[in-house]
């Protein structure tokens, strides 16, 4: 006698949903062996019934609200994306006692704390490995494998589109606009690329990572966000001259100050040395670098997007959630016991790289150095190249608050002897 199946409802049947349905079918015997029960797809919610020839017609429905509360559904997989209707559907499903697997970074970053509380109240699971860095097992290691350790810092390349663009700029010397065009041609950039190039996508992922790493509720609004559209060919050249490359980084840190611990979360382009493990992450790949007290340095690397990789992460969650249901227990939920305050960007410690064209005459270096000193910013390295009546100054600072560094740059811009500020960028990973 076959044991009763684990019954799954799928919300959404686009690129990811199609891959999930295909894997559910092709991996059937394997999933059954790993869960101890067969898995059965019992319904697929779509917007239009006539566009999904791959799904048996009797499974399709436009009535997603009814599907998520149906008695014959155990687990709901949500791959619609965005806030509504996904949020309302997940809430209904959870209240009806269904466990939920979601790939929805925007929703989890915005409403994660409320959704976790609801899931805990209903005694069901809410898993979302696919929401950050696609197929890379990342949330589970952070939440479970490192549960006995103290994470200091999570620094990642979590957006494939921007990594492709910056990799091309680095390889060919192209401008941002040229590299964006190339990314569009290759299918790596959306028609409206803002979510990627302006850092919104990375900021949502940063919020999720910071929350898990530091046991603190973090939402997208807590994340300082800068995109890559201002990164110039001159910035890339300046990075190369110091043996570095430019990456869009999502950085989540535990900062210890006199007033206690806090969490700083930010997304911005930064120069990192070519010897850093993240520097070699090219093309549209993702990677996340983790620093922990006992474990030391860890890195997780893989494909961050695409139907199949995302579906792989969803099925991994499905197996865990199904096993938990059969055991009559929920898995480890998100924990927010630390509840650390969020540190504003202005008070977050960073380091800057600054390239200046200055007049080449006596007293210029002193004036520039004074500007740094007046903001209490200490200089790590300085390089001066004279060429006739003009010189280039390349300065890398020590760590200071981001506001002090920004004020220093403003001060430099207003100095008569500074003819041009050719590149300003934060440096990380040194």
- Under the rule (CB under 8 A), what is the footprint of a second copy? 19, 23, 27, 30-31, 33-34, 129, 135-137, 140-141, 144-150, 215, 277, 280, 287, 292-303, 306, 308-309, 311-316, 318-320, 323-324, 327-330, 332, 335, 337-338
Q: How many CB atoms lie within 10 A of CB 297?
A: 10
Burial 86-109 (b: 16+ CB within 10 A, else e): bbebbbbbbeeebbbbbbbbbbbb
Closest CB to a second copy among residues 136, 203: 136
In the complex, what is the shortest distance from the CB of residue 65 to a second copy, in angstroms, rounded to a whole number? 27
Q: Is 205 a catalytic residue?
A: yes
Closest CB to a second copy among residues 112, 199: 112
In the complex, what is the shortest distance from the CB of residue 330 to a second copy, in angstroms, rounded to a whole number? 8
The CA–CA distances, whole Å, from 426 to 160, 216, 272, 341 equal 21, 26, 9, 24
The CA–CA distances, whole Å, from 116 to 139, 186, 348 equal 15, 38, 28
Q: How far is Cα 248 from Cα 267, in angstroms, rounded to an integer?
A: 7
Closest CB to a second copy among residues 268, 303: 303
Closest CB to a second copy among residues 62, 145: 145
Q: How far is Cα 15 from Cα 187, in angstroms, rounded to an integer?
A: 14
Can you name the residues that pair with 154 across neighbouring β-strands? 252, 290
In the complex, what is the shortest distance from the CB of residue 101 to a second copy, in angstroms, rounded to a whole number? 10
Q: What angle do CA 249, 254, 257 make, to 5 degrees?
A: 125
Rg of the chain on CA atoms, in Å: 24
Closest CB to a second copy among residues 281, 405: 281
Task: Provide the CA 80 distance to its chain's centre, in angstroms.
Answer: 19
In the complex, what is the shortest distance from the CB of residue 60 to a second copy, in angstroms, rounded to a whole number? 23
In the complex, what is the shortest distance from the CB of residue 191 to a second copy, in angstroms, rounded to a whole number? 25
Residue 390 tokens read as 């003009």
> Which of 95, 98, 105, 205 is the catalytic position?
205
Closest CB to a second copy among residues 130, 356: 130
In the complex, what is the shortest distance from the CB of residue 11 to a second copy, in angstroms, rounded to a whole number? 18
247: closest CA among 202, 292, 297? 202
Q: How far is Cα 12 from Cα 46, in angstroms, rounded to an integer?
A: 6
Q: How far is Cα 150 from Cα 394, in angstroms, rounded to an integer?
A: 36
The CA–CA distances, whole Å, from 157 to 45, 93, 173, 237, 277 equal 33, 33, 21, 20, 11
In the complex, what is the shortest distance from the CB of residue 182 to a second copy, in angstroms, rounded to a whole number? 21
Q: Which residues contact 260 (CB under 8 A, 6 or more apart)?
A: 341
Closest CB to a second copy among residues 206, 288: 288
**Residues labelled as active-site residues:** 205
């Amino acid at each position: 006698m076959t044991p009763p199946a684990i019954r799954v409802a799928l919300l959404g049947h686009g690129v990811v949903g199609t891959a999930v349905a295909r894997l559910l079918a092709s991996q059937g015997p394997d999933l059954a062996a790993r869960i101890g029960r067969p898995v059965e797809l019992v319904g697929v919610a779509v917007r239009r019934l006539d566009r999904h020839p791959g799904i048996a017609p009797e499974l399709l429905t436009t009535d997603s609200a009814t599907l998520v509360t149906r008695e014959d559904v155990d687990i709901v997989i949500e791959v619609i994306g965005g806030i509504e209707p996904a949020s309302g559907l997940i809430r209904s499903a959870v209240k009806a006692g269904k466990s939920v697997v979601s790939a929805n970074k925007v929703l989890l970053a915005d409403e994660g704390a409320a959704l976790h509380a609801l899931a805990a109240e209903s005694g069901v699971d809410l898993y979302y490995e696919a929401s950050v860095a696609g197929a890379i097992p990342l949330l589970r290691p952070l939440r479970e494998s490192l549960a006995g350790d103290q994470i200091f810092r999570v620094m990642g390349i979590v957006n494939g589109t921007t990594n492709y663009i910056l990799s091309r700029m680095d390889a060919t010397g192209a401008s941002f606009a040229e590299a964006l065009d190339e990314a569009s041609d290759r299918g790596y950039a959306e028609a409206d690329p803002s979510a990627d190039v302006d850092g919104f996508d990375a900021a949502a992922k940063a919020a999720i990572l910071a929350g898990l790493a530091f046991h603190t509720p973090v939402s997208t609004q807590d994340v300082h966000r800068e995109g890559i559209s201002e990164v110039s060919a001159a910035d890339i050249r300046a990075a190369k001259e110091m043996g570095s490359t430019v990456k869009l980084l999502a950085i989540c840190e535990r900062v210890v100050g006199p007033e206690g611990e806090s969490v700083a979360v930010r997304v911005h382009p930064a120069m990192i040395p070519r010897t850093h493990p993240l520097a070699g992450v090219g093309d549209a790949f993702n990677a996340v670098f983790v620093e922990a007290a006992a474990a030391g340095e860890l890195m997780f690397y893989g494909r961050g997007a695409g139907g199949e990789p995302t579906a792989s992460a969803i099925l991994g969650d499905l197996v865990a959630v199904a096993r938990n249901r059969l055991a009559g227990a929920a898995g480890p939920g998100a924990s927010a016991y630390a509840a650390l305050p969020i540190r504003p960007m202005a008070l977050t410690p960073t380091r800057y790289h600054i390239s200046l064209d200055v007049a080449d005459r006596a007293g210029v270096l002193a004036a520039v150095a004074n500007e740094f000193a007046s903001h209490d910013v200490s200089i790590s390295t300085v390089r001066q190249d004279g060429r006739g009546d003009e010189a280039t100054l390349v300065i890398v600072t020590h760590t200071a608050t981001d506001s002090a560094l920004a004020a220093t740059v403003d001060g430099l811009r207003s100095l008569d002897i500074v003819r041009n500020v050719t590149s300003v960028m934060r440096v990380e990973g040194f």
